[in-house]
Chain A
Amino acid sequence: MTDLQLTLNIWRQRSSSESGKFESYEVDNLNTHMSFLEMLDVLNENLVEENKEPVAFDHDCREGICGMCSMVINGRPHGPMKGTTTCQLHMRHFKNGDTITIEPWRAKAFPVVKDLVVDRSSFDRIIQSGGYVSVNTGSAPDGNAIPIPKSIAEEAFDAAACIGCGACVASCKNASASLFVSAKISQLSLLPQGQPEKNERVKKMVAQMDEEGFGHCTNTGACQAECPKEISVDYIRKMNVDYNLSNIKG
């Protein structure tokens, strides 16, 4: 365990209706075993003791699965480590004396709520537009009634691993949600259970994605590089095909 002293440049914004600015903080009671969020906990406790308002940031499970944590660390969503959420980023990847700039996800479809907290309900609305299989409770056939080849199940799983954090949007220079939306569409369009609504689903979800004000995908691949679950941009290709075919078929 090594002691750590850092300068933090953090975006502070009281509410969505007010404008924000960067504030600088010196924190010295840190060590390399901490997670990034624990480092912010220390800062916040210091702030409370100084009778200042702590930095608001989203977090919950702190084990890389709930998708709640969301901050851009030195220009990188979830920080510099590949396949890692902010909550699983540890301070041993930083050096004593570093200056770290922390910003919220930036996108029109993700308005800032406070400090580093943004509103990602646009993702919920995309799912509500069609990201489901219409099956009522109790009407399901036996789980083994339809065999699914292992490779298909695995491919669907790779898409389903998405934690809905929004790092894809945050990293994309166009603030496109294509990786999120395509992963959600592909999970269901790959599985036999998703077939009956396949065409309608992709049309509705893409339409909702556009309506929320996300940008276009220009295939930079930044989303795949920053995705904490390393979801492949191949799902975007798949979504394009599904979308075009479903529209051509009418």
Chain B
Amino acid sequence: MSALESQLPILQVIVPLVGAVLVALMRGGRSAWAVALVITWTMPVISILLMRKVLATGPISYHLGGWAPPIGIEYRVDLLAAFVLVLVSVVGAALMPFARRSVASEIDGDKQVWFYTMYLLCLAGLLGITITADAFNLFVFLEISSLATYVLIALGRDRRALLAAYQYLIMGTIGATFYVIGVGLLYLVTGSLNIYDIASRLADPAMQNPRPVMAALAFIVVGISLKLALFPLHVWLPGAYAHAPSFASAFLAGTATKVAIYVLIRFAFSVFGVAISFETLPLTEVLVVLSLAAMFIASIIAVFETNLKRMLAYSSLGQVGYITLGIALANTQGLTGGIVHLLNHALMKTALFMALGAIAYRLGSVKLDAIAGIGRRMPWTMAVFVLGGMALVGVPGTAGFVSKWYLAIGAVEKGWWPLVFAILISSLIAVVYVGRVVEVAWFREPSPAVEKCTDPPLSMLIPMLVLTAATIYFGIDTEASAGMALKAAETLLGGLK
């Protein structure tokens, strides 16, 4: 057992990677789905075991090929990494039962095998990004997950999916290139690729403020911001989420941007440290402005959007704004709010996209005017949507409230009380776009097409309900979510300079 336990960090990445290969060797969508289900369900087991071990004994370090860092590649699980690993693996696993019918209805039979292959590759890439402590290895996983994501999006039903995937391909490649340029500059200055080795070398007083370090930070922040769709760099995201298959939208909304945000946190706090990121360079000011722009502009666009998937995509942009706001505050409460919102937003947005996936499965459309009266025909699905929407707004008792609460305290601690009002007002915009859907879905007469709809089969309904229940649960008992995020934030701000 202990031999297996010491191999957990690599198993977290290798199991989905080998699983992707096994799926690719399958014939037919059903067997591919079954293998993918088994693989994805081992992921939370591994990540939760890792989390327990981190809580018990502190960060875990794993040396690939037996080569010690900084020469070899190191996998390192600290509290923040474990938190994100659990998030990604749980969302990935919770989605799988939903996948079979949704994917079967949206993707041609012979392509389903490749779809599940790409899904597992994407999962392996995202988990790899989170677990690795090697800046270049991180880039490799970034590319693995991105390339898989492009394919997932391009497999969408209508032809615009191809265009959306191509647009994301261009933007994503620029982002990844910027990241690599940044890492190259860091390597130039420090001679190391291991994240913690770089951090300790940058902390050397002789290393204060050399220009390449500033440039490296700028390149990395811009590159990763493209990936996490920070406001002015977001143009790929609405199209990608709107035209991807429902299952892919739900998965990407819950995980891909979250992992990119994790990378931003990792570099801003663990590698460059607060002194360089927030004092030498004005990362706080830049991020606050962009986050506010995202919170307001994206939310307002969401109000006028009639395609619901696109509406949720814009809402995601706004929610990313809250998370980056938490990072920008760079104090314990604010950062806690940002980190816990990673989890909370992943849960609620995945549930919301699954609800839309269920509507697409029954009705074939997710346009606002097409779903009139659907609340009476698909009550459970719409209940998930309403509860998820309330969490987006941040109604007390839902997870969304918890994150916004921490953000508000963080802003007050910093003395920036106008931010509290900004958080409040942007939440009210969410009331408008969620309320509009509620009004159409519950208070209008159903059309003949909607009359025929019923709630989806249990295999689709249960995953949604589980995630929604989690959204409510983390709104009431915050020990596992915010408590963990608080510890992670304290480590980030206190431990490594």
Q: Do A and B come from one complex?
A: no
Which positions in B face A, CB cutoff 8 Å? none
Q: Which residues of A does B touch, CB under 8 Å?
A: none
